[in-house]
Structure 1
Amino acid sequence: MSSAVTTVPAAPSEIAREPFSAEFTFETDCWDVHDALSRESDFVLLDVRSPSMFAQGHVPGAINLPHGKIVRSKLERWSDQTVFVTYCAGPHCNGAARGALRLAELGRPVKIMAGGVTGWLDEGFELAKGSDT
């Protein structure tokens, strides 16, 4: 007897490796971002929510750049090779993907921080308040 989980069999390992490893080229997680921010990070973390949401609480070290305002002129201070990591409110929000798409359309390397603010808090990490970054 099989369940809804096993009715469709899992892909053979040699087939599963490629899509699972490709996933890491598109996203990172809160733990990896937190760890990287505790040292000199090699990416720019973008909070793509509104300025008011950013001020209520954001990942320390993040820069607020709402996804609708991501344009070439706002990115000029960073080299073309700078990796951007976008995040929004959480898994229920598609702002991080919207921001990532805009960055990709501008030819910038980008990943999404899976979980967003919700994931950050779920991991027990603190948020910064205010609009100073």
Structure 2
Amino acid sequence: MAPTEPSFVAAIPAADPAVARAHFAARLAFETDCADVHAALSSGNPDFVLLEVRGPGAYARGHVPGALNLPYRDMTEERLSIYPKDTLFVVYCAGPHCNGADRGALRLSELGRKVKLMLGGLTGWADEGFPLATGAEAGSL
């Protein structure tokens, strides 16, 4: 019997476990997911500030309850001065088709602020079946 070709999955060898650990630990330093954000918000005592980085009109049509609206274009040291320097911000936008969260995360890091991106954005939030808030106020879960 002739040897079979490896699958496309196995054709490129997996990383050494130590390298994989470093890679995935680094990713988690930059990202969080909708379920973890939901759990933290549901606790009533989240240890981060959740920022929706789309414009006010999009925010009013639907946003994560508890998220504050701060479009990435409006992020300035002056606007952020109400938060302690060590505040962790979690940013999101419409979803995987939108790079607003990346732009917001870049801007916050340029301003010397700690930041994580909520993977999936509003699309991921809805896919998880979590509720949305509407209007100009943050609302709550």
Shorter-chain TM-score range: over 0.9
Q: Distance in 2 between matches of 1:23 and 1:94?
A: 17
Query: Percent identity at matched positions?
Result: 58
Question: Which residue is equivalent to 1:132?
Answer: 137
Q: Distance in 2 between matches of 1:69 and 1:6?
A: 46
Q: Distance in 1 between matches of 2:109 and 2:102?
A: 10
What is the letter of the counterpart of residue 120 of structure 1?
A: W
Between the two proteins, the alignment pairs up a number of residues equal to 133
TM-score if structure 1 supplies the norm length? 0.97
What is the letter of the counterpart of residue 15 of structure 2?
A: A
Structure 1 residue 3 displacement after superposition: 2.1
Q: What secondary structure sits across from 1:59 in the alignment?
A: coil
- Alignment of 1:50 with 2:59, yes or no, is no
Larger radius of gyration: 2
Question: Which residue is equivalent to 2:122?
Answer: 117
Question: Which residue is equivalent to 1:31?
Answer: 35
Question: Which residue is equivalent to 2:26?
Answer: 22
Structure 1 residue 5 displacement after superposition: 1.9
Q: Distance in 1 between matches of 2:63 and 2:88?
A: 19
- Alignment of 1:88 with 2:90, yes or no, is no
- Unaligned residue ranges in structure 1 (runs of 5+): none
- Unaligned residue ranges in structure 2 (runs of 5+): none
Question: Which residue is equivalent to 2:77?
Answer: 72
What is the letter of the counterpart of residue 70 of structure 1?
A: M
Runs of 4+ aligned residues of structure 1 deviating over 3 Å after TM superposition are none
